[in-house]
A = this chain, B = another copy of it.
Amino acid sequence: MAGIQPPKSQYQQIADLLRNRIDDGTYTPASALPSEPELARELGVSRVTVNRAIGLLRGEGLVRVRRGSGTFVRAIPRILRDARRRFEAREEGSGAGDVEARTMGLRPRTVYTEIGRTAAPPEVAEALDLEAGAAVLVRRRRLYANDEPTQLADSYYPWSLAKGTKLEEEQLGAGGSYSLLRELGRGPARFREDVTVGSATGEEAAALDLEGTVPVIRIMHVAHDADDAPVAVMLHVMPSHLWTLRYEWAADGEA
């Protein structure tokens, strides 16, 4: 096989080549790529160079590696997260986190890893207008679609608000946490989301089963009640290649 000359680095050219072969169906979704030694022979380069090229594809979420077994093409259906709609859907009863997966025809699953009282992390304390380390209720969960992890989501509520309420139970019932807040007279009226992109921590990478250096999207969601007091904070960590975020708004801000 020809190609692969020095103006662009070889590993970049090889990544391009593999990307093309995935696009044109030479390597189909879920099938294995040729092994690294094999590709190295075919292309006349060292295995390290092939490995580096595949590292790029991993970072793009195009490929998934199972150690000892091989490198496989991923199907990448991006999940649409419509910030406004997801809370409307929530009103109708389904768990908020599962909305997107369900509308994409995927099989959602939510696993709670912690529900209980804890000290607020600094950023959460600040967002909730509490002193550093104040007591909060945390609800920590992992979301899956077709058994692939898609998101970590931690919700925080002021302890004074959540104490003794259904928020301490795993099943919140129809309408989710925001319905409960409404019953408590603290229904959310205004939302803010700050979105950043960064690297995953070790724990996050493990929990999300991340490939190599896939970047993650971090969303800090804050809900305020009618009196503009913060009532809930949610921190989301999502593999960036799995998601599209959608926001909509009208021209006339509410001032």
Min Cβ gap A237→B in Å is 13
Q: Is the beta-carbon distance between B84 and A243 smaller than 8 angstroms?
A: no
Taking A251-B187, A251-B188 as contacts, is the C-beta distance between A195 and B245 under 8 angstroms?
A: yes
CA distance A61 to B217 in the complex (A): 15
Please provide the chain A residues from 200 to 250 with a CB less than 8 Å away from any CB of chain B in the complex: 213, 215, 217, 240-241, 243-250
Chain B contacts for A175, CB-based, 8 A: none
Residues of chain B lying within 8 A (CB to CB) of residue A217: 197
Residue A198 interfacial (CB < 8 Å): yes
Q: Is A30 an interface residue (CB 8 A)?
A: no
Known contacts A196-B244, A243-B196; A213 and B59 CB within 8 A of each other: yes
Point out the residue from B83, B88, B190, B213 that lies within 8 Å of A250, measured CB to CB: B190
Residues of B within 8 A of A243 (CB): 196-197
A193 adjacent to chain B (CB < 8 Å): yes
| A249/B251 in contact, CB under 8 A | no
A191 within 8 Å of B (CB atoms)? yes
Q: Is the CB of B215 within 8 A of A197?
A: yes
Contact of B248 with A190 in the complex, beta carbons under 8 Å = yes
What's the least CB distance linking A177 to chain B, in Å?
A: 14
Q: Give every chain B residue within 8 A of A244 (Cβ-Cβ).
A: 194-196
What residues of chain B lie closer than 8 Å to A56, measured between beta carbons? Answer: 199, 213
Query: In the assembly, how many copies of this chain are there?
Result: 2
- Distance of A18 from chain B, by nearest CB (Å): 14
Within 8 Å of chain B (Cβ to Cβ): is A87?
yes
Q: A59-B213, A213-B59, A215-B197 are in contact. Are A191 and B253 (CB under 8 A)?
A: no
| Nearest B residue (CB) for A196 | B244
Contact of A197 among B83, B187, B241, B246 (CB under 8 A): B241
The answer to whether B197 touches A253, judged by C-beta atoms less than 8 angstroms apart, is: no
**Are A215 and B193 in contact (CB-based, < 8 A)?**
no
Report B-chain residues with C-beta under 8 Å of the C-beta of A119: none
Residue A36 at the B interface, CB < 8 A? no
A192 within 8 A of B: yes
Given contacts A83-B249, A84-B253, 10 further A-B contacts (CB under 8 A): A56-B199, A56-B213, A78-B196, A190-B250, A191-B250, A192-B248, A196-B240, A196-B244, A247-B249, A250-B254
Give Cα distance in the complex from A60 to B214, angstroms.
Answer: 11
List which A37-54 residues lie within 8 A (CB) of chain B: none
Residues of chain B within 8 A (CB-CB) of A215 are 197, 215, 240
